[in-house]
Amino acid sequence: MGRIGRAVAKRAKAFGMKIHYHSRSRLSYDLEEGATYHDNIESLFKISDILSINCPATKETKNIINKKTLEFFSKEAVIINSARGDMIDDDAMVEALKNKKIFALGLDVYNGEPNIHPGYLELPNVFVLPHLGSATKKTRTHMADLAINNIEEFFKSGNCINQVN
């Protein structure tokens, strides 16, 4: 539960939600702000009505949501991924959603962006956003600067710094 996870937890608490988390290491008491720590994901997933994934992409977190771990959740669970697309095994998730083993899924990121697993598009219990997590003022300003730099470079040399094929 890093900076983003703590920000999400703060907002969730405003809606009366109880916060539980798993992290590589337990936070200090003052950073936990009343959240309950789980030393393994199985115990966290078993009690999660809503799971918000907010972790870095590592070899340990790749496909952290998979056929095996989906079995830990209740049928009423809602999973939200705003971290990285490869946190979820898409085939296993589509199967779980179709078979009503998971209630709903919210995605701001997904494997193979901008392409999305076609199974998600067929399901009424999947909410997909176009990676709005990048919609910060700082990121959008950087993107605008990059576009300007590309235009300037094109007129100077005939090449772009970042070329889209």
Considering the domain architecture, whether residues 121 and 48 belong to the same structural domain is answered as yes
Considering the domain architecture, whether residues 126 and 150 belong to the same structural domain is answered as no
Residue 64's identity, in one-letter code, is I
pLDDT tops 80 at residue 43: yes
Considering the domain architecture, whether residues 126 and 155 belong to the same structural domain is answered as no
CA–CA distance, 22 with 109 (Å, rounded to integer): 21
Residue 33, domain member (yes or no): no
Residue 25, domain member (yes or no): no
Q: Residue range 86-106: average pLDDT? A: 97
Looking at 6, 26, 32, 131, which residue is catalytic?
131
What's the full length of the chain, in residues? 165
What per-residue confidence (pLDDT) applies to 165? 58
Looking up tokens 């030393």 gives: 39
Look up the domain containing 139 and give its range.
135-165
| Position 164 confidence tier, pLDDT thresholds 50, 70, 90 | low
Q: Does 84 qualify as catalytic in the annotation?
A: yes
Q: Residue range 24-29: average pLDDT? A: 92
CA–CA distance, 109 with 116 (Å, rounded to integer): 9
As for how many domains the chain has, the answer is 2
What per-residue confidence (pLDDT) applies to 79? 98
What per-residue confidence (pLDDT) applies to 88? 97
Cβ atoms 79, 51 nearer than 8 A: yes
Triad 35, 31, 15: Cα angle to 5°:
45
Looking up tokens 């009343």 gives: 34
Q: Does 131 qualify as catalytic in the annotation?
A: yes
For residue 10 the two structure tokens come to 């703060």
Considering the domain architecture, whether residues 120 and 141 belong to the same structural domain is answered as no
Q: Residue range 55-76: average pLDDT? A: 95
Looking at 20, 22, 38, 84, which residue is catalytic?
84
Q: 16: which residues sit within 8 A by CB, 6+ positions away?
A: none
Considering the domain architecture, whether residues 74 and 144 belong to the same structural domain is answered as no
What per-residue confidence (pLDDT) applies to 118? 95
What per-residue confidence (pLDDT) applies to 114? 82
What per-residue confidence (pLDDT) applies to 141? 85
Residue 153, domain member (yes or no): yes
pLDDT tops 80 at residue 139: no
Considering the domain architecture, whether residues 100 and 47 belong to the same structural domain is answered as yes
Looking at 113, 122, 140, 142, which residue is catalytic?
113
Q: Does 3 qualify as catalytic in the annotation?
A: no
DSSP assignments along 116-138, one per residue: --HHHHT-TTEEE-S-GGG--HH
Q: Which residue has the higher pLDDT, 76 or 161?
A: 76
Cβ atoms 36, 19 nearer than 8 A: yes
What per-residue confidence (pLDDT) applies to 119? 96
Helix segments in the chain, DSSP class H: 3-14, 29-32, 41-47, 67-70, 90-98, 118-121, 137-157
Considering the domain architecture, whether residues 52 and 67 belong to the same structural domain is answered as yes
